[in-house]
Amino acid sequence: MPSRRTFIKNISIAATSGSLIATSAKAFTVPADKPNVTTGNIVLSTWSHGIPANEKAMELLNAKARAIDAAQQGVMVVEADPKNTSVGLSGYPDRDGIVTLDACLMDELGNAGSVCFLEGIDHPISVARLVMDKTPHVMLSGSGALQFAIQNGFKQKKGLSPDAKRAYTEWLKTSAYKPVINIENHDTIGLILRDERGNFSGACTTSGLAFKMHGRVGDSPIIGAGLFVDPEVGAATATGLGEAVIKICGSHLIVELMRMGQSPQRACEEAVKRISVKQKNFKDMQVGFLAINKAGEIGAFAIQPGFQYALAMNGKNELKDAASLLKAERK
């Protein structure tokens, strides 16, 4: 326990430094950011595959579909892409040569559904949707998730895509176990949106870390880590090394910071900073966050340079470069 004197000293350091480093005192001393209000439908999602996902989601929002349907169908475009090696059944396998899928979604009322460690189903996000809509639960895993999917009419598929087979054969030559996310071996799709009526929804789906241990589950299907939606506040999603995101409950942290008045951008920066404070090897990993609030402001921030996201609003759908902690540090 800090002494009262140390505690007071910490408060004054935090209050005067202007640093983004999180301390319990600082979290409550940060003045609220002034929002810039944007109306209309807004969709944002991780990486360049976010462009077709946003397009689909926006098409649905423009047709006045439910926010959750737009989010789900947006990420399904990426799950269905046979060339995608990090989302859906064409993703790279684990170190036993099996593709295992993680996905979750949250709707405009804060309902949630999730599946993890699911094998052989080409739309894990749709199974997560059924978990949300048809069961009293939030999350089903492994063989139980598969059984539920099959009972609901999904067909199980076996085998690897040609690209994944090639990459796995290559990986087997060394079988190097390096559970570090770099620019080549990640790329979850996390998609969050706010419709013109102010409803939020989000969806997140991935085949996870390439050549992971069999049974490993990352942040993407974990409500509060890979995705969080609060109807009163906004939404956040994550990509990158799931272990680092889980340890700080990344998406939930961002939504809570927004609830306290921080802009989505500052909240994303704070979450990345939190990882950098807590994880000694943060310079060797990549994590990126996206967020959106009630006013329609958006945030994007990553540890490393190179995190791109797709932003659809005002009739445009564009790929953007997120700012990053390490680039900022080197200045």
**Which of the residues are catalytic?**
188
Token couple for 160: 């690897």
The yes or no reply on residue 293 touching ligand ASP (CB under 6 A) is no
| Binder of ligand ASP out of 54, 206, 317, 324 (CB under 6 A) | 206
Q: What is the CA radius of gyration of the chain?
A: 19
* Cα–Cα distance measured from residue 320 to residue 308, given in angstroms and rounded to the nearest whole number: 5
| Closest C-alpha among 237, 242, 267, 216 to residue 106 | 237
Closest to ligand ASP by CB, 26 or 49? 49
The yes or no reply on residue 49 touching ligand ASP (CB under 6 A) is no
**Which residues have CB under 8 Å from 184's CB, separation 6+?**
none
The yes or no reply on residue 231 touching ligand ASP (CB under 6 A) is no
Instruction: For residue 327, count CB atoms less than 10 angstroms from its CB and return exposed for 0-12, middle for 13-18, buried for 19 or more.
Output: middle
The yes or no reply on residue 79 touching ligand ASP (CB under 6 A) is no
The yes or no reply on residue 296 touching ligand ASP (CB under 6 A) is no
Q: What are phi and psi of 310, to 5 degrees?
A: -105, 130
Which window, 2-10, 204-212, 229-237, 277-285, contacts ligand ASP (CB under 6 A)? Answer: 204-212
The yes or no reply on residue 100 touching ligand ASP (CB under 6 A) is no
* Cα–Cα distance measured from residue 185 to residue 192, given in angstroms and rounded to the nearest whole number: 22
Closest to ligand ASP by CB, 61 or 287? 287
Q: How far apart are the first and last CA of the chain?
A: 36
Stated length of the chain: 331
| Binder of ligand ASP out of 88, 120, 208, 231 (CB under 6 A) | 208
| Binder of ligand ASP out of 108, 187, 195, 256 (CB under 6 A) | 187
The yes or no reply on residue 219 touching ligand ASP (CB under 6 A) is yes
Closest to ligand ASP by CB, 72 or 206? 206
- For the bound state, the minimum distance from the C-beta of residue 117 to ligand ASP, rounded and expressed in Å, comes to 11
Torsional class of 317: left (φ above 0), alpha (ψ -120 to 50), beta (otherwise): beta
The yes or no reply on residue 304 touching ligand ASP (CB under 6 A) is no
Which window, 28-36, 146-154, 164-172, 203-211, contacts ligand ASP (CB under 6 A)? Answer: 203-211
* Cα–Cα distance measured from residue 179 to residue 242, given in angstroms and rounded to the nearest whole number: 10
- For the bound state, the minimum distance from the C-beta of residue 89 to ligand ASP, rounded and expressed in Å, comes to 15
Residue 174 DSSP code = T
The yes or no reply on residue 113 touching ligand ASP (CB under 6 A) is no
Q: What's the number of CA atoms in the CB half-sphere (13 Å) around residue 154?
A: 22
The yes or no reply on residue 264 touching ligand ASP (CB under 6 A) is no
Binding site for ligand ASP (CB under 6 A): 86, 181, 186-188, 206, 208-209, 218-220, 239-242
